[in-house]
Amino acid sequence: MKNFIYTCTLGLVILTVVLMPGFGAIDVIGFQWFYLAIANFIVVFANLLFLRNKAEEIYFRLLSKSKMLHFFCFFLLFALISFFSSKNIPSSIIGFSEIIILFISTFNFLFFFVLLNDSNQGYRLLFSLIIVIISGELLISYREIFSDLFTDRTLRTGNVRYSGNTGNVNILSYSILVKIPLLFYAISNLNGKLLKSIIAFFYLLSVGLIFSLETRSAFYLLILITFFLFIFSLHKKKYRLAIFLPLVLLISLGFVRYFSANPNSRFVGELSNVVSTEDSSFNQRKIIYSISLEMLSDHPLIGVGIGNWKTESIKYYKDYLEGYIVPYHSHNDFLQIAAEIGVFGLISFLLIMYYPVFYLFKKLNSLNIILLLSIAIHSIDSLINFPIARPVNILPILLILAYLYFKIDKEKICIE
Whole-angstrom distance, CA of residue 124 vs CA of residue 191: 13
Nearest to 63 by CA among 49, 50, 45, 76: 76
- Beta-carbon neighbour count of residue 151 at 10 Å? 8
Burial (CB < 10 A; 0-12, 13-18, 19+), residue 160, is middle
Q: What is the pLDDT of residue 259?
A: 84
Burial (CB < 10 A; 0-12, 13-18, 19+), residue 176, is buried
- Beta-carbon neighbour count of residue 65 at 10 Å? 14
Burial (CB < 10 A; 0-12, 13-18, 19+), residue 334, is middle
Whether the Cβ atoms of residue 261 and residue 154 lie closer than 8 Å to each other: yes
Strand partners for 374: none
Whether this prediction's pTM lies above 0.75 is answered by: yes
Q: What is the pLDDT of residue 272?
A: 45
Give the model confidence (pLDDT) of 31-77 as tens digits.
888 888 888 888 888 888 888 888 889 999 999 999 999 999 999 99
Q: What is the pLDDT of residue 35?
A: 85
Fill in the DSSP letter of residue 387. Answer: G
Residues 6+ positions from 63 with CB-CB distance below 8 Å? 69
Whole-angstrom distance, CA of residue 273 vs CA of residue 268: 10
State residue 203 phi and psi, 5-degree precision. Answer: -60, -45
Q: What is the pLDDT of residue 116?
A: 86
Q: Dihedral (C-alpha) 330, 333, 334, 339: value to the nearest 10 degrees?
A: 50
The one-letter amino acid at 191? N
State residue 325 phi and psi, 5-degree precision. Answer: -85, 120
Q: What is the pLDDT of residue 25?
A: 61
Give the model confidence (pLDDT) of 201-257 as tens digits.
999 999 999 999 988 889 999 999 999 999 999 999 999 999 999 999 999 988 888
Whether the Cβ atoms of residue 256 and residue 157 lie closer than 8 Å to each other: yes
Mark the ranges of the chain whose per-residue pLDDT is less than 50: 268-277
Whole-angstrom distance, CA of residue 209 vs CA of residue 221: 14
